[in-house]
Amino acid sequence: MDPVSIRAQWCKGCGICVAFCPKKALRLENEKAVHNPELCILCGMCELYCPDLAVTVDKSQKKPQATREVANES
């Protein structure tokens, strides 16, 4: 199961999660965010950025290696 679930009914397609995903694992399709689990590193930034509270990231599925947080360092 995809650890990142997006509630399409709540998503307004603003594109913030798409723009600030450090791995470009999100895209917009028909004005709704869609997630690509293959690129995702489960950093959880999309969940924090989403103004619509539409994204939930299940971090329990996170693999121990390779997590890098790009945003919020500047």
Partner 1 sequence: MSVNNYIRERFFPHLWCPGCGHGTILNALLRTVESLGIDKSNMCMVSGIGCSARISGYVDFHSMHSMHGRALACATGIKMIKPELNVVVPMGDGDAMAIGGNHFIHACRRNIDMVAIIMNNRIYGMTGGQYSPLSGSGILATTAPYRSIDREFDATQLAMGAGATFVARTTAFHVKEIGSLLKKAFEHKGFSVVEVLTQCPTYFGRKNKFGGPVQMLEWYRDNTAPLGSKKLEENSDLIPRGVFRQVDAPEYCAEYAKIVEKAHKE
Q: Does residue 62 belong to the site contacting partner 1 (CB under 8 A)? A: no
Helix (H, G, I), strand (E, B) or coil at 47: helix
Q: How far apart are CA 27 and CA 70, in angstroms?
A: 18
Q: Does residue 45 belong to the site contacting partner 1 (CB under 8 A)? A: yes
Residue 74 one-letter amino acid: S
- The stretch near partner 1 (CB under 8 A) out of 21-29, 34-42, 51-59 is 51-59
Figure out which of the listed residues 48, 61, 67, 70 binds partner 1, where binding follows CB under 8 A. Answer: 48
In the structure encoding, which two tokens stand for residue 10, read together?
A: 């709540």
- The stretch near partner 1 (CB under 8 A) out of 21-29, 34-42, 52-60 is 52-60
